[in-house]
Chains A and B, each alone.
Chain A
């Protein structure tokens, strides 16, 4: 019954799903290794301002999970790392993990002395490209590990080297090599999550063309206190307060030309966003255009609460077009208003938020032969040979569902560990 101590559970992805799978497995006695491609754990949820429907901050749960990781010697975390080779059979795999050069080693104390001398800027990926950081940067305020990283695309390397003398801890290694590590693995959990659908492809909605058309994930950053506007809901074109906000549901979702499926989370997420606007400006006006309001389960209470707010109106209908007044940056949303009138409805807006759907990160990743994906990139095979997918790698999922899934995967990991 005791865990198999030689082999570990390899978890690909260090977002909420991957962290949960690794922690739950480790707290049940398994060794777990998290392989995270970016410089920090946290994943998509780390850039969310709040969770629906409770409107609580995701960093709160992240902190607890970090703490569980710190206190558990059975968990190893590798960042900047990808699984590059997997050989063997169920219960007995050899995994090769490639660790990209972070160029900052584990002596870094996150003191920040390197920021000032760094002469190069990069787009702030944490803020979905809104705003800049230096080429040497702290991935986020609640990073794990709490260490800086250097963006290899932006940093000129040793030809510059201005950060080197600023670091008192010899933590910067501009010539750090790529490393490889191998692990004996009993099973693999893909918790690789999702990325937002590329909104520039939805041409009629003007994203990428009009500054004040943003996506739902960007809106999270606009609302966040540690975001580019320090939590003030200002529109990108001129920094004006965004008081008239239109939400376009199913932007590229439930649409044969884009994503034919429903991304599950966008409706409830937009309700949450409506709350951000209404909290920020009591005289604000929110309009939501939707096909169906898919707010499942007891989150219905949340829908009822938002519907009761006079400042939020709901229109069943698809948005056909968004127009911009080039002088003011104001937007006009043209939508079919199916409910009631069947006429076209035009709404003026300071800011339009596209509720874009989610695309599995695995869509463009090659998986072991035993695993199969559907046409969209979601894993459909049912844990063959201890190769499992959880959360948005398997189906569009919210956080609760993802963690349930991850915990279930930990149960199965336990069986593979125990079998030997």
Chain B
């Protein structure tokens, strides 16, 4: 920016620790601020007027506020069209700078002022990337209840939908069920299967183009501008804005359950087979057509079992309650046994469980020993875990309550032409699920959202709701693409990384490291940006060894210059310096929370917030070490299986990059302990100052960085 003003707030205790006049002088002389002023409370109406007056009179295009954290007073310090930066003199200096020496606090404040001014100088005006043509149509892959729900919800909101179903009929798994488990009312009886109503609604909705017996051959492009090729009955090329994947699952292959008698007798069946029998009105013993007088349901057949499906499929327990009802309604004298591990009838479904118990079905917590299905009657031997005795049951039919597997486990569904693979990345057991509790629709492929059983085991009611949620995310992504803004978690961010491709060496690090598969490559390996896939985390910027990836308001040069603007005192002053590059999503609020508690941080530390630790470019660590910083800390989110990084892999990628710093350390004759990455969890905010202070102490023990002053 060309003309920057520096405004110092002296409220909230800042005045107690800084020399305001001196700070303004630094901003003017070193920060090249065109205008400087201090005010006792910048956030109140008079203070704001001071800022606005100066902006107008001086023609400022950038405003740097030495005040509270950038996280606070966000609606107050908003000046449209002007670059605004804040340095947290309140949190970092007034509230948490440790030590007794006022000079140290002043030096810290001065460094933050320098950094703020440099940042403003280096920043350029951000302009959103607006595409000329945005397609708003939604593609839904999968015609089960989740997919149909997604299609109907999007259509009702005014979006055109292409609904692709691989088989020749809509309905998915639900089409095979006789009735539905309760989903409301008094939760005491099964409901009619209304999937046909849903199918009719889809067929009658003019905005939905139903393509049965059709599959996705390929998808290229990005949100707002996908090119989708369909093959099969409705083979076509369609333009699509965003995608819902609701291909569902298949019930676990009972052929693998020979140990439970499947395949050995026609009288050992799966719950899906029982549904079919009930639907056809043929609830008789399969082997000979005799009435069923006794039945044993074996719960968790191939579920919660390391040898088969390790997880619980959620809907099997209520389904068994429903099926016990079918049999007892057909013949009230039928003896119905349910052999279970845990009866999982969550929420109000408990009432259905109680109802089924009161109707005479017997529930026994067991460990199945053997199922002998050699003759007409099926013998089940099990340990009754409650009475401790061995249980021998002889029944007409055994029903195996089998679980469900996501179709994404094996099949090719989307056939994306992405550099990073053809399908949605999957998590445990093949579910392409989000790994964020708070953000169940988070996806690693922007614009593509999973819904229903493919995402997580769930019952039909939940799947219908999930379809609606995924549809919203798809519509939202299209609108964001049209407006040129980012989607979650940097929602509304208009910045986008600029690639100076003339200097690209085709090392491919950016394309490989982007957790969202944003970048494709041309034949030579040059990255091909797709702005609407981008989440603006800056991981590509951190990865690039040529430093050719920059945002208008965030770049390697900018942060590098900020680091260089920090004054590193000579060795004999005995004032070490530690640079802390901190994730602004978790570590920065953690620091603010610690400041709120007035916990003290060593006066030697200087914090620089990053968009994500994944945007850390090694150049910054190099710069800091050469400049004479005694230690460098990187504070980011937890990584590994239970990662908390909002950009999936940012902090982990940072740690991998740091392995390459060894060469620099050797050259500068520095110990590896001078660099430390901390995986921080925001709940531990009160511990953060302690973690930082012990690193500073350890660094001091190493003695000063010998490169100071060179």
Instruction: List residues of A whose CB falls within 8 A of some B CB.
Output: 1, 16, 20, 23-24, 27-29, 49-51, 54-65, 67-68, 70-72, 107, 109-112, 138, 141-142, 146, 168-170, 224-226, 230-231, 254, 260-264, 292-301, 304, 316, 338-342, 374, 376, 378, 380, 382, 395-397, 399-401, 403-405, 407-408, 410-412, 414-415, 418
Instruction: Tell me if B596 counts as interface (CB < 8 A to partner A).
Output: yes
Nearest residue (CB) in B for A295 is B312
Known: A28-B476, A226-B686. A71 touches B491 (CB 8 A): yes
Q: In the complex, are the beta carbons of B439 and A294 less than 8 A apart? A: no
Q: In the complex, are the beta carbons of B492 and A72 less than 8 A apart? A: yes
Q: In the complex, are the beta carbons of A225 and B684 less than 8 A apart? A: yes
Give the chain B neighbours of A68 by CB distance below 8 A. 488-489, 491-492
Instruction: Tell me if B681 counts as interface (CB < 8 A to partner A).
Output: yes
Known: A57-B682, A411-B153. A297 touches B184 (CB 8 A): no
Tell me, in angstroms, the Cα distance from A298 to B185 when the chains sit together.
28
Q: Provide a sorted-by-A list of 25 A–B residue pairs whose CB atoms are within 8 angstroms.
A: A1-B136, A27-B479, A28-B475, A54-B642, A59-B685, A60-B585, A68-B489, A71-B492, A109-B11, A111-B13, A138-B596, A168-B41, A260-B350, A262-B348, A262-B350, A297-B458, A298-B431, A298-B457, A316-B386, A342-B387, A380-B184, A395-B348, A404-B466, A408-B466, A408-B468
Among B185, B311, B429, B466, the most chain A Cβ lie within 10 Å of the Cβ of B311
Q: In the complex, are the beta carbons of B344 and A296 less than 8 A apart? A: yes
Known: A24-B476, A224-B683, A407-B472. A296 touches B312 (CB 8 A): yes
Known: A225-B683, A340-B388. A56 touches B462 (CB 8 A): no
Stretch in B49-57, B71-79, B665-673 with 4+ CB within 8 Å of A: B71-79
Q: In the complex, are the beta carbons of A414 and B157 less than 8 A apart? A: yes
Q: In the complex, are the beta carbons of B437 and A411 less than 8 A apart? A: no
Tell me, in angstroms, the Cα distance from A155 to B433 when the chains sit together.
48
Return A1 CB to nearest CB of chain B, in Å: 4
Instruction: Tell me if B129 counts as interface (CB < 8 A to partner A).
Output: no
Which listed residue, A49, A107, A225, A261, touches B685 by the CB 8 Å rule?
Answer: A225
Give the chain A neighbours of B185 by CB distance below 8 A. 380
Q: Which of B654-710 contact A (CB under 8 A)?
A: 681-687
Number of B residues near A (Cβ < 8 Å) is 95
Instruction: Tell me if B174 counts as interface (CB < 8 A to partner A).
Output: no
Instruction: Tell me if B211 counts as interface (CB < 8 A to partner A).
Output: no
Nearest residue (CB) in A for B437 is A51
Q: Which of B65-92 contact A (CB under 8 A)?
A: 68, 71-75
Tell me, in angstroms, the Cα distance from A233 to B469 when the chains sit together.
39
Tell me, in angstroms, the Cα distance from A176 to B299 when the chains sit together.
61
Q: In the complex, are the beta carbons of A28 and B479 less than 8 A apart? A: yes
Q: In the complex, are the beta carbons of B437 and A230 less than 8 A apart? A: no
Tell me, in angstroms, the Cα distance from A340 to B366 when the chains sit together.
11
Return B37 CB to nearest CB of chain A, in Å: 19
Give the chain A neighbours of B346 by CB distance below 8 A. 262, 264, 294, 296, 396
Return A74 CB to nearest CB of chain B, in Å: 9
Q: In the complex, are the beta carbons of B644 and A56 less than 8 A apart? A: yes
Instruction: Tell me if B12 counts as interface (CB < 8 A to partner A).
Output: yes
Instruction: Tell me if B456 counts as interface (CB < 8 A to partner A).
Output: yes
Nearest residue (CB) in B for A29 is B479
Q: In the complex, are the beta carbons of A403 and B685 less than 8 A apart? A: no
Known: A27-B480, A264-B347, A408-B469. A169 touches B11 (CB 8 A): yes
Give the chain A neighbours of B350 by CB distance below 8 A. 254, 260-262
Return A50 CB to nearest CB of chain B, in Å: 6
Q: In the complex, are the beta carbons of B437 and A54 less than 8 A apart? A: yes
Tell me, in angstroms, the Cα distance from A403 to B159 when the chains sit together.
23
Instruction: Tell me if B334 counts as interface (CB < 8 A to partner A).
Output: no
Instruction: Tell me if B522 counts as interface (CB < 8 A to partner A).
Output: no
Instruction: List residues of B whose CB falls within 8 A of some A CB.
Output: 11-13, 40-41, 43-44, 68, 71-75, 136, 153-154, 156-159, 184-186, 304, 310-314, 342-351, 354, 365, 385-388, 428-429, 431, 433, 435-441, 456-458, 462, 465-466, 468-469, 471-473, 475-476, 479-480, 487-489, 491-493, 585-586, 589, 593, 596-597, 637-638, 642, 644, 646, 681-687
Q: In the complex, are the beta carbons of B153 and A64 less than 8 A apart? A: no
Chain B interface, >50% SS class: loop
Nearest residue (CB) in A for B9 is A109
Tell me, in angstroms, the Cα distance from A262 to B681 when the chains sit together.
31
Nearest residue (CB) in B for A170 is B44
**Nearest 3 pairs of A and B residues by beta carbon:** A61-B438, A57-B683, A407-B469
Tell me, in angstroms, the Cα distance from A415 to B471 when the chains sit together.
12
Q: In the complex, are the beta carbons of B491 and A27 less than 8 A apart? A: yes
Give the chain B neighbours of A418 by CB distance below 8 A. 157-158
Return A190 CB to nearest CB of chain B, in Å: 16
Return A140 CB to nearest CB of chain B, in Å: 10
Which listed residue, B153, B311, B685, touches A415 by the CB 8 Å rule?
Answer: B153
Which listed residue, A300, A340, A382, A414, touches B312 by the CB 8 Å rule?
Answer: A300
Known: A27-B491, A411-B472. A226 touches B682 (CB 8 A): no
Q: In the complex, are the beta carbons of B429 and A298 less than 8 A apart? A: yes
Known: A316-B365, A341-B388. A400 touches B73 (CB 8 A): no
Among B387, B437, B440, the most chain A Cβ lie within 10 Å of the Cβ of B437
With A64-B439, A230-B686 already in contact, 10 other A-B pairs whose C-beta atoms are closer than 8 Å: A58-B438, A59-B682, A260-B351, A262-B346, A295-B344, A301-B311, A404-B465, A407-B441, A415-B158, A418-B157
Tell me, in angstroms, the Cα distance from A415 to B473 when the chains sit together.
14
Q: In the complex, are the beta carbons of B468 and A65 less than 8 A apart? A: no
Q: In the complex, are the beta carbons of B682 and A60 less than 8 A apart? A: yes
Nearest residue (CB) in A for B589 is A63
Tell me, in angstroms, the Cα distance from A51 to B437 when the chains sit together.
7
Return B371 CB to nearest CB of chain A, in Å: 23
Tell me, in angstroms, the Cα distance from A62 to B646 when the chains sit together.
12
Q: In the complex, are the beta carbons of B472 and A24 less than 8 A apart? A: yes
Give the chain A neighbours of B437 by CB distance below 8 A. 51, 54, 56, 58, 61, 399-400
Give the chain A neighbours of B351 by CB distance below 8 A. 260-261
Give the chain A neighbours of B686 by CB distance below 8 A. 225-226, 230-231
Give the chain B neighbours of A62 by CB distance below 8 A. 438
Give the chain A neighbours of B429 by CB distance below 8 A. 298
Q: In the complex, are the beta carbons of A412 and B12 less than 8 A apart? A: no
